[in-house]
Amino acid sequence: MLLTITTEKSVADTAKALQAAVVNHKFGVMQVHNLQETMQEKGVSFERECLIYEVCNPHSAKKVLMANMEISTALPCRISIYEENGKTFLATLKPSMMLSMFDVPELSATAADVEVTMLKIMEEAAR
């Protein structure tokens, strides 16, 4: 269900590399959520770093949305960068698993393509 990669980079360095990798693979960053900052703004102490990137390839998104607008509930794709036990992780839910919840078998190739690209983006950011 999850694709997870570790890196020796810091969360901040991984985030910079992820921004570039997303663009290199013709995706775009739609939003970045900094969980630590957001929780602190709400008065909740949260010491761990966690950045969640919402990324999207507009051509793939249009294709899946034209097939079934309910899939909008699973978009955009997300890549999380977080630190745990001194290591930095990149993680995402597999697009193929997300799309399997909807009855659109004709989109399996699209989901597989997006999944391969998401993994490449994460691997590039981790290097």
Q: What is the pLDDT of residues 51-99, one digit of tens each?
A: 999 999 999 999 999 999 999 999 999 999 999 999 999 999 999 999 9
Report how far residue 121's alpha carbon sits from residue 71's, in angstroms, rounded to the nearest whole number: 22
Report how far residue 90's alpha carbon sits from residue 110's, in angstroms, rounded to the nearest whole number: 22
> Residue 82 has which token pair?
């977080």
Give the CATH number for residue 10. 3.30.310.70
- Flag whether 20 is in a domain: yes
- Flag whether 127 is in a domain: no
Residue 83 pairs with which residues in a beta bridge? 88
Q: What Å distances lie between residue 120 and 14, 33, 34, 59, CA to CA?
A: 14, 22, 23, 18
- Flag whether 118 is in a domain: yes
Q: Which domain holds residue 105?
A: 2-122
Which pLDDT value is given to residue 103?
A: 87
Work out how many domains the chain is built from and give that number.
1
Question: Quick one: average pLDDT of 9-26?
Answer: 97
pLDDT tens by residue, 104-121: 999 999 999 999 999 999
Asked whether residue 30 carries a pLDDT value surpassing 90, the answer given is yes
The whole-model pTM stands at: 0.94
